[in-house]
Amino acid sequence: MTVRVAISACLLGAPVRYDGGSKPADEVRELARKVDVLRVCPETASGLPVPRPPAEQREGRVFLSDGRDVTGDFERGAQRCLEALRRSPVSLAVLKAKSPSCGVGLVYDGTYSGKLVPGDGVFAEKLEKEGVCVVTEDTVRACKPSVEHPVAIVLGSGLGHLGS
């Protein structure tokens, strides 16, 4: 059985972040070698350029650090990636923590001070509403040493060897 997993492109080393960099995570790359990957980046899918000013959520909207309201861009990019998932469904999504698009459970508070608040990124929220199990690279890292790999448990698909 081929397990298909959506993964934030920046975690796989793609230079798509606002600053033109990436955030490669070894454990996520290891996972990517063992599954069928759907690489996603909702912000570049929206048409926003690289590089671009950093963005944060505030009061239900998304703003660049220069004050531009990019809520519509973030919604459009997230929707495009969601449609890609619908065409080719995944068992799991591993998304970049804290991002205004991809963050799961915690995002920056909109003050550009590094403060985190409870919440999901725009894309992560859409996936959760769609019923997709969404985790971050932190989850994958945390389960690395375990034979009873939480990601495998989530998938329920016999991936217990991932953590060994």
Burial of 42 (0-12, 13-18, 19+ CB in 10 A): buried
Q: Which is nearer to ligand SF4, 8 or 91 (CB)?
A: 8
Q: List, in order, residues 6 or more apart from 126 with CB less than 8 Å away.
A: 78, 79, 82
Range 50-79, binding ligand SF4 (CB under 6 A): none
Residues 83 to 112 in contact with ligand SF4, rule: CB under 6 A: 96, 99, 101-102
Q: How far is the CB of 24 from ligand SF4 (least distance, A)?
A: 11
Of 5, 6, 16, 140, the residue at the interface with ligand SF4 (CB under 6 A) is: 16
- Give the strand pairing for 55-58 and 61-64: antiparallel
Single residue of 5, 6, 10, 152 touching ligand SF4 by CB under 6 A:
10
Question: For residues 62 and 69, is the Cβ–Cβ distance under 8 A?
Answer: yes
Phi, psi of 18 (to 5 degrees): -55, -35
Query: Which one among 5, 9, 35, 107 touches ligand SF4, defined by CB under 6 A?
Result: 9
Tell the smallest beta-carbon distance from residue 145 to ligand SF4 (Å).
25
Tell me the residue length of the chain. Answer: 164
Min dist CB 134 to ligand SF4, Å, is: 12
What are the two backbone dihedrals, phi and then psi, of residue 160, each rounded to the nearest 5 degrees? -60, -20
State the residues that interact with ligand SF4 by CB under 6 A. 8-10, 16-17, 41-43, 96, 99, 101-102
